[in-house]
Structures are given as structure tokens and as C-alpha cells.
Amino acid sequence: MRFDYKTFHIDCTARHDEDGSFYAHARITRAAEAPTAHVESFESGELDAFSTESDAVHCARAWAIEWCDEVTA
């Protein structure tokens, strides 16, 4: 699931493991203010395990939005 939130681009995924679990993950990037500036990127790591891919992606989405809100507060 890819979407934009505030000044961030968020990509939420779920990794399917051999044990049958889906692990939530989010990658957050923020475009640089100036065209020559560095693009910031943050990786969540594996957030938690879920029995469905949908639940894992929704967890990653909620986590990413909360992270963005804290960074911009």
C-alpha cells in the first residue's frame, strides 16, 4: 500500500514468513525542500506479526501515520 501523508510518501508492506505469519513493515520518505538536497528515508523494521496480510499492512499504515505525526509535531 503506497500513499502520501502530509509531506511524506509511505510504502507499507507485509512479508510472508515460512511460519505462515505476515510481518508488517513501513518505509517512509520525505522529499527534500530544495532540488539538490538529500531525500530523507526511514525504515520501520518488522513491526509485528499477523495472521493476515491485510492486518499487517493496516498495522504498518497506522504506525507510519503516528510516526509522521510525531516527527512534525
| Residue 38 banded pLDDT, cuts 50, 70, 90 | confident
CATH of domain 2-72: 3.30.160
Global confidence as pTM: 0.86
Q: Which of 54, 57, 69 is nearest to 8 (CA)?
A: 69
Please state the domain extents for the chain: 2-72
Helix (H) or strand (E) holding 71: helix 53-72
Decide: residue 48, CB within 10 A, 0-12 exposed, 13-18 middle, 19+ buried.
middle
| Residue 39 banded pLDDT, cuts 50, 70, 90 | confident
